[in-house]
Structure 1
């Protein structure tokens, strides 16, 4: 079986017209700066300082605080950042949540909604003090849930708006990236070298391996097969062939899923700020959101032909939707000749 898989991959690589550049791209190609924000945790008995990795761009306008999905990192917002900065006046702060990316905390396994939402509030306070600028929370999947919990707990006093991307109660799928450009910058933040590996793994192989898994899955689907590879299955294969694995095993976060997503739709609807919901498909809508959307309680846009990582698969479309939302509510101004078309709903 392993031999057949290896031969299939070789055939994919040798196929005419399939030569593609899988080499990683540095964060600096998309963000202007990177820093580690130090947060003093007063509730920690050991008085430990936590450091939260953030990536920033822009110098004026509202702050868009970006929260990634489970298993991802702030680098997943790289291409989106370039797209949104070119359309409107805004400042980007993309955050590695605890247990993810390069953020360092004493108890990274505590991924409860309460703890992570407090982290967001603490980072905002550390960055801006008692007078933070207008901030819009934008979160994908798990990050969208944390954005809602943060808003409901009033942990960002200058909250301007709220955006959830492909978050519906009970949705915990991770999904892989279909956009090679985004994968080249973001995948390095999602994987790490396996313990005991004999030598460092070439970063290029990390991206190439992930993209090939996705391509094989799509080819099987086109042929009528049903191959839904999950991260847990990938771990075993990648350890054998590439000596790398995921930074975080999503299966181990299952005990927190209920806290992230239960009642999330009603919490989202209860937030008094302007709200935007971006979905990969209408099948994500539950009853509460459907009724709320019909009542005009939030703005919604469906971006078809995207996987779960909507902001990575279609960064320009997501940037256009967010930019239009902000301009519509007069939170910012367009730049670079950006012309927005207001959606009907």
Structure 2
């Protein structure tokens, strides 16, 4: 009952369904799903560390060449990789750039105090990162945040920390329902697995539990939520090592194949002692051993409880007071509180509802969220469509 209430109030993952009877048996004949991790470069063009004036290092992923910047802020426990599919989608629709950052205490970001997750501190982080990135010539920026990140986006906007702010998009977070859910958050966190035997099992859990309903998105984004129990290294750093090694292996295999095509004989050019044979150089076989050990969560959210109320308290009024054009993307009607209902009736912001997804709206339906953001930018006349992109009528 408690978990069902959490789902209704805060869009938290539902309990996985267990198949029974003939329907469950029939699944044995289906092809096994691939839960292996996917590297970020299929969606982003660059990854780099942004060093702020205080010396903190924020991991950032980016794509797109021109236009306004969609600056993405992920939810609590997630990482910048949760924006991967959405970033690839929206940059194929309109002229824009995407920048996704691991917030303090998350992903591959390293700060002097990873435990300070107050709204004030993280808002300043956003301003500091933007200053380090663009100095005195920042481009037009649209802040886009999910859950906790949505709250931080609002705090950042209201404090005027983004001088070139031209838009604010908040995904599936509303003050009333968020505040109501806080009393049950510790119980929810205790109900999650604490250890995963492999990265594949973590990805499988995310999909089966409903935390991320889109398998492809889970395969790229769950990597950023984990760290190795043995080494303490983040899952994304581990995959970085594997990806580099796999690239070297593939290059070596291609060179061997090219030599064979040119008439070179393996007997005339034996492999060095101890070198792996081409049959062992595939990325799949290399990754199995590399990523098959135990993982836990990158951040222990239960230790951040003292900051929770500060994220959400007064959020609706702050959101409505922001002068920039605003959009609210929700997974259901029940998440609108009184202030937002009145604000919607007064036309103070655009609202889009995507009830066919879970709390991670942008991961479950990246194409639909990309379409919403693309149309939002076109309506505000801050960008232009690409190729055959067709504008759609905004949701209501």
Per the normalisation by structure 1, the TM-score is: 0.80
Q: Give the corresponding residue for 1:341.
A: 392
Shift of 1:69: 0.3
Distance 1:23 1:287, change over 3 A: same
CA distance in 1, matches of 2:350, 2:392: 14
CA distance in 1, matches of 2:300, 2:172: 21
Task: Give the counterpart of 1:58 among 40, 64, 67.
Answer: 64
RMSD in angstroms over aligned alpha carbons?
2.4
CA distance in 1, matches of 2:354, 2:322: 23
Q: SS in structure 2 opposite 1:15?
A: helix
Matched, 1:325 2:388: no
Q: Give the corresponding residue for 2:125.
A: 119
Q: Give the corresponding residue for 1:145.
A: 151
Shift of 1:342: 2.5
Q: Give the corresponding residue for 2:48.
A: 35
Distance 1:191 1:269, change over 3 A: same
Q: Give the corresponding residue for 2:222.
A: 187
Shift of 1:336: 2.2
- Contact residue 194 and residue 245 of structure 1 kept, 8 A: yes
CA distance in 2, matches of 1:246, 1:178: 19
Give 1 or 2: higher helix fraction. 2
Q: Give the corresponding residue for 1:294.
A: 345
Shift of 1:196: 7.6
> Deviations 1:174-196 (Å, cap 9, x if unpaired)?
97101000001000100112248
Shift of 1:343: 2.0
- Structure 1, unpaired ranges of 5+: 1-7, 42-48, 204-240
Q: Give the corresponding residue for 2:288.
A: none
CA distance in 1, matches of 2:340, 2:214: 29
Task: Give the counterpart of 1:161 among 167, 173, 179.
Answer: 167
Q: SS in structure 2 opposite 1:339?
A: coil
> Deviations 1:134-192 (Å, cap 9, x if unpaired)?
00000000000000000011001000100000011152679710100000100010011
CA distance in 2, matches of 1:106, 1:13: 53
Matched, 1:22 2:40: no
- Contact residue 141 and residue 166 of structure 1 kept, 8 A: yes
Matched, 1:311 2:352: no
- Contact residue 351 and residue 395 of structure 2 kept, 8 A: no
> Deviations 1:193-220 (Å, cap 9, x if unpaired)?
22489xx9x97xxxxxxxxxxxxxxxxx
Task: Give the counterpart of 1:176 among 211, 214, 217.
Answer: 211
Distance 1:139 1:12, change over 3 A: farther
Shift of 1:12: 8.8
Q: Give the corresponding residue for 1:281.
A: 332
Q: SS in structure 2 opposite 1:40?
A: coil
Counterpart mapping for 1:190-229 below 5 A: 190-195=225-230
Distance 1:196 1:127, change over 3 A: closer
Matched, 1:108 2:114: yes
CA distance in 2, matches of 1:139, 1:131: 23
Q: SS in structure 2 opposite 1:105?
A: coil
The number of residues matched between the two structures is: 290
- Structure 2, unpaired ranges of 5+: 1-18, 190-209, 240-291
CA distance in 2, matches of 1:336, 1:28: 23
Matched, 1:89 2:140: no
- Contact residue 12 and residue 18 of structure 1 kept, 8 A: no
CA distance in 2, matches of 1:131, 1:314: 34
Distance 1:60 1:341, change over 3 A: same
Q: Which has the larger radius of gyration?
A: 2
CA distance in 2, matches of 1:12, 1:319: 37
Task: Give the counterpart of 2:299 among 245, 248, 252.
Answer: 248
Shift of 1:305: 1.2
Q: Give the corresponding residue for 2:264.
A: none
